[in-house]
Structure 1
Amino acid sequence: MLKLSVLDQSPVSEGSSAAEALRQTVALAKEAERLGYTRFWVAEHHGASGLAGSSPEILAAHVAAVTSSIRVGAGGVLLPHYSPYKVAENFRVLEALHPGRIDLGIGRSAGGGALAVRALREHRREEPDDFARQLDDLAVYTQGMAPGGHRFAGLEASPDADSAPQLWLLGASPGSARLAAERGMGLAYARFIAPHGEAEAMAEYQARYLPSSAAPRPAVLVALFAVCAETAEEAERLALSSDLAAVLLARDHASSPTPSPERAASYPYTPFDRQLIRENREHLLIGSPPEIRERLEAIGSACSCEEIMIATVTHSFEDKLRSYRLIAEACRLQSRSIPQS
C-alpha cells in the first residue's frame, strides 16, 4: 500500500499572520497523525514574508511534543549554512526525547535571498563550500563518535542515546541521488522543483546505493504539491491561489503571502503570466479524490516508490485540512486513535 506523508512550509495567507501560520502547522500535524499519514516534515526559509518556518529544529520539536506516533522531522535543514556537528546534536536531542520518531532531512538550497544568506554565513571562514564533506561529517556525528582518521577523531555528538535520527537528503537531480546513495541516506525527491525527473533520479539512487549501519536498505520518497477538493472544479478554483503566487514570486523575486482564489480570479494577467502559470501547473496535482489517488499511484509506480509526501497550499486553512482528509480517505489510510492528554 502506498504510504503518504506531509510536508508543511508554514505558508502565511493574505490577511493572516506568521504566528497563525505556525499554529496551523501544529494543528495540521495533529490531524495528519490522526488521519494515518506516515511522517510530518517542516521546512526552512529565511526572509520570506509568505513562509513562516525559519527554524525547523524548534518547530519540529514542538510538533513532536504534541503528537505521539507520527514521524517528525525537517524537510529540510539547509546544511551549507551550519556546522554539521551542531545540526547532529540538535537532532540527537530530538531523537533522545522522541526515540524512533525523528527524521533529519538535509537541503542544499539557499533558502532565502542574498542578504539573508550573507547573514546566515557571516560566521564562516572564506572557503569553498564542500557539501559532500558536510554530509559525511553529519553521517558520522549522528551516529555518535568521530572515528580514527577523522580530523576530529574521538569527538562525540551529544546526547548519548539508544537510537539516531533517520537521515534523508532532499534533491531534484541524479547528482543528489548519487550523494544520498553513496552515504546510505534516504532520498526525498523534490518533484515540486523538477516534475519530470523522479524516475531517473530513483534509478540512479537504487543502482548506486551503499548500505550503511544506519540504513541497510534504500529509502525513497517523492515530495509534491497537491490540491484536492470534492470536485475537480472546486480543486481548480482553490489552485488559483497557487497560480497568482507563482506570478508574484516571479515578479518580486520573493515569497509573499498566499492570495485568495477571489483575488487570483480577478488579477489582470499578462500573456507572459499565463505562460508562467501553465509551466507552474506542471508542478501541481489538482483534482477530485479519485483523480488525485490515480495520479499518486501512477507516480509511485513509475519510480518504484512506496511513499509520497504531499505539500498543500491554499488560502483557507479549512480547505487545506479538507484536501488532506479527502486524500487520506481516497487512498484508504488507516486512521489512528490518539490518546487524550
Structure 2
Amino acid sequence: MTLLSVLDQTPVISGHSVADALAATIELAQLADDLGYTRYWCAEHHGLRGVSNPCPEVLLARLGSVTKRIRLGSGGVMLPYYSPFKVAEQFMMLEALFPNRIDLGVGRAPGGDMRTAQAVAAGDYNRGDIFPQQVADLLGLMHNTLPDDHVAKGVLLQPQVATRPQLWMLGSSEFGGLLAAQLGIRFAFAHFINAHFGHQVAHAYRDRFKPSLEAQQPYLAAAVFVICADTQEEASNLEKAVDLRRVQMAYGLNELIPSVEEGVAQEYGERERLVIDREKPRSIIGTPEVVTERLHALQERFQADELIVLTVAGSYQARLRSYELLADAFQLERAASTS
C-alpha cells in the first residue's frame, strides 16, 4: 500500500483572514488523521502574504492536541536561521508531548526573500554555508554522539525522554540528497519545486546512503503538488487559480492565494502563458483516476517509499475534498469510528 502524507503551507486565500487559514489547517490535520494519512508537516515561510506559518514548532503543538495517531512534523525548519541546540530542544519538547509522533524536517532555503531573511536572522543570515555542520550537530545532539571538542558536549538536552523525533532532510537538488545519504537520514525531495531531475537525485541518495544511528536503510519521500477533484471541469477551474498564483510569483508579487473565482476570471497575454506552461510539470491536477495514475508513475520513477501531498487550492473546501478523494483512491486505512 502506498503511504500518503500531507504538507501544509497554511495558505491564506483571497477573501479570507489568517485566522481562517489557521482554522483550515487545524481542520485539515484532523481530517488527515481520520483518513489515514501517515504524517502532517507544516512548512516555514517568512514575509509572504499568501502563507501564514513562520513557526511550525508552535503550530505543531496545537495540532498534536487535536489529533490522535498521525505523525506531526516540520516540512521544514529553515535551519540556517537557528541554533541546532535550540531546535533540538523544541522538537524534544514536542516528542515529550506526543511520543513517537514527531518528525524534524530541516532545510537550508530562506523561506522568503533575502531582505526578509536578513530580518529574521538579525542581519546575519549565513546563506546555508554552515548547514551541513548544523545537521550533523542535530544528529549528534539527538543520539549523544557529539565530538569531545564540541561546545555542546556534555550539556543536558532537555526534556529528557526515551524517544526521539525522526530527522529528515528536505531538498530540491542534489545537494540535499547527497548530504542526507552521507549522514544516514531520511530524505524528502520537493518535486513541487523541481519537477525535472528529482528521480536522479532519489536514485543517487539510495546508492550512496550510509547507515547511521538515525536510519539503517534509506527512506525516500517525494513531495508533490496535487489537486484532486470530482470532475474534470472542477479540476480545470481549480487549476486556473494555481496558474494565477504562479504568474504572480513569477512577477514577484506578494499576494494572497487567488480564489477560484479570481483564477477563472483572469486573462493572460503571451508572456504569462509561457510562465504557466513552464510551471505545469510541477503540479498534478485532475480527477481521481488521472491523479492516481500520475502519482503511481511518479512513485515508481522515484522508487519512493512515500508520497507527501501539497495542495494549495483557491478554496478551503476544495482542499479538504482533494485529500478525501486521494485517501479513497489510495485506499488508506481510516480511523475506527468512536461513535
The SS at the match of 1:80 is helix
5+ residue gaps, structure 2: none
Structure 2 residue aligned with 1:9: 9
121-130 vs 269-278, which moves further: 121-130
Letter in 1 for 2:11: P
Please name the residue that 1:75 is paired with. 75
Map 1:107-122 → 2, pairs under 5 A: 107-122=107-122
Q: Provide the C-alpha distance between the structure 1 equivalents of 2:77 and 2:336, rounded to a whole number of angstroms.
A: 31
The answer (yes or no) to whether the contact 2:188–2:220 under 8 Å persists in 1 is: yes
Displacement of 1:232 in angstroms is: 2.0
Which residue of the partner structure matches residue 267 of structure 2? Answer: 268
Q: Which amino acid aligns with 2:266?
A: Y
Q: How much does 1:257 deviate?
A: 1.1
Identify the residue that residue 336 of structure 1 maps to in structure 2.
335
Relative to the length of structure 1, the TM-score reads 0.95
**Shift, 1:254, TM fit:** 4.4
**2: CA distance between counterparts of 1:124 and 1:291?**
46
SS at structure 1 position matched to 2:180 = helix
The reply to whether residue 304 of structure 1 matches residue 289 of structure 2 is: no
- What residue in structure 2 maps to residue 242 of structure 1? 242
Give aligned-pair identity as a percent: 40
Give 1:202's aligned residue: 202
Go from structure 1 to structure 2 and tell me whether the alpha carbon gap of 1:249 and 1:211 turns closer, same or farther (over 3 Å shift). same
Q: Which structure 1 residue ranges, 4+ long, deviate > 4 Å from structure 2?
A: 123-128
Who is 1:313 aligned against? 312
Aligned with 2:193: secondary structure?
coil
Kept in 1: contact 2:80–2:126 (CA 8 A): no
Q: Deviations for 1:243-273, whole angstroms, at most 9, x for unmatched residues? A: 001111122x244211122222222312110
Distance 1:19 1:43 in 2: 17
Structure-2 residue corresponding to 1:170: 170
Q: Give the C-alpha shift of residue 196 in structure 1.
A: 2.0
Q: Is the 8 A contact 1:242 1:314 kept in 2?
A: yes
How far is 1:207 from its partner?
1.1
Question: What SS does the aligned partner of 2:34 have?
Answer: helix
Quote how far apart the aligned CAs of 1:128 are. Answer: 8.0
Matches within 5 A, 1:52-71: 52-71=52-71
Equivalent-residue separation in structure 1 for 2:54 and 2:233 (angstroms): 34
SS at match of 1:282: helix
Q: Name the CA distance, whole Å, in 1 between partners of 2:127 and 2:253.
A: 28
Where does the alignment leave 5 or more consecutive residues of structure 1 unmatched? none
Matches within 5 A, 1:89-108: 89-108=89-108
- Identify which range, 323-332 or 253-262, moves more after superposition: 253-262
Give distance in 1, aligned partners of 2:94 and 2:46.
22
Contact 1:177 1:204 in 2 (8 A): yes
Q: Contact 2:241/2:259 (CA < 8 Å) preserved in 1?
A: yes
Q: TM-score w.r.t. structure 2 length?
A: 0.96
Q: Deviations over 1:47-70 (max 9, x none)?
A: 111101111000111111111100
Residue 284 of structure 2: aligned partner: 285
Q: Secondary structure at the match of 1:192?
A: coil
> How many residues align structurally?
339
Asked whether the 8 Å contact 1:184–1:215 carries over to 2, the reply is yes
The 1-side partners of 2:174 and 2:236 are apart by 32
- CA distance change for structure 1 residues 125 and 297 in 2, over 3 Å: closer, same or farther? closer
Mapped to 1, the partners of 2:126 and 2:75 lie a distance apart of: 27
Alpha-carbon distance in structure 2 between the residues aligned to 1:281 and 1:337: 38
- Residue identity in the other structure for 2:96: A
